[in-house]
Amino acid sequence: MSPKPQLIITADDLGYAHGNNAAISNGLAAGGITSASLMVPAPWAREFASRYADQDIGVHLTLTSANPNYRFGPITQSPSLLGGDGGFPADPTDLLEHADLDEVARECRAQVERATIWGIRVSHLSVHDGSLLLRPEFFDIVLTLASEFSLPLRLLDGQEEASIGFPARQLAEAEGIAITQATVRTANPAVDFPKILANLAPGSTEVILHPALNTPETKALFSDVEQRAATAAFIAQGQSLASLVESAGASLVGWRSLMSPRA
């Protein structure tokens, strides 16, 4: 008898806004998500860590800041990681054109270490906007951190990896770094979830969500706030969601289930 497929449901962008934190807190409490990824440089990161450090929380390595009216930047003195208006660059292409590798490595390490200082037992690494997964010299920095801290790592899925020109998944596995077999992103989980469950591959699959409450703050930040609020409502129905996963013959797990015993 083959083992059940494992499903990790992760909420990204924790710390970006209070409305993100509140929605993700609700989802963790209800059991509608099993993990979350923290943007350490973001303004509301410390608020979440002060109350929920014991949860299954990963570090969402952040070196871009896309909203033109909402800027934040590195937590280290790293001039090459700044865009033209003082915060992180708006997109990965801009970042990779001028980022110094030593400054990238120092900033990423500082983000992991700061989360640890805040009391978080970091469960995994991921990369905001996928910026550091697009070129091998930047990916090597992420790979080194994951190996040193014995952390599982979110990678691009198979189709995305084919477009970047180097075997990131193979390199991670060669270093003994745990990865999921599949990665699924959805902005409309209420509609997409039955299809996701019907197509689960053996092993572990991560579903990535972006929930936020609909508040004046998030309305000012997100053009898709209603979609994010619908996702927040979806993950707040934890028990029914867990039953749906169980009826599909899968198990809900967090990223910590992939961590090595020595981590």
In CATH terms, 6-72+109-258 corresponds, of 3.20.20.70, 3.20.20.370, 3.30.910.20, 3.40.1440.10, to: 3.20.20.370
Mean pLDDT of all residues in 155-166? 82
Angle, helix 238-247 to helix 18-30, in steps of 10 degrees: 60
Q: Quick one: pLDDT at residue 261? A: 60
Other CB atoms within 10 Å distance of the CB of residue 224: 13
Q: What is the DSSP letter of 144?
A: H
Confidence (pLDDT) at 161: 80
**Averaged pLDDT for residues 8-30:** 97
Mean pLDDT of the chain: 94
pLDDT tens, 80-117? 999 988 899 999 999 999 999 999 999 999 999 999 99
Q: Which of 184, 245, 232 is nearest to 13 (CA)?
A: 232
Domain boundaries, the chain: 6-72+109-258
Does the pLDDT of residue 135 top 70, yes or no?
Answer: yes
Tokens at 112, concatenated: 């992991």
Mean pLDDT score, 139-156: 96
Cα distance between residue 226 and residue 208, in whole Å: 17
- Residue 1: the pLDDT is 47
Q: How far apart are CA 86 and CA 79, in angstroms?
A: 9
Please tell me what DSSP assigns to residue 20: H
pTM of the complete model: 0.96
Query: For 24-79, what is each residue's pLDDT tens digit?
Result: 999 999 999 999 999 999 999 999 999 888 999 999 999 999 998 899 999 999 99
Among the ranges given (63-67, 213-217, 256-260), the one the predictor scored with the smallest mean pLDDT: 256-260
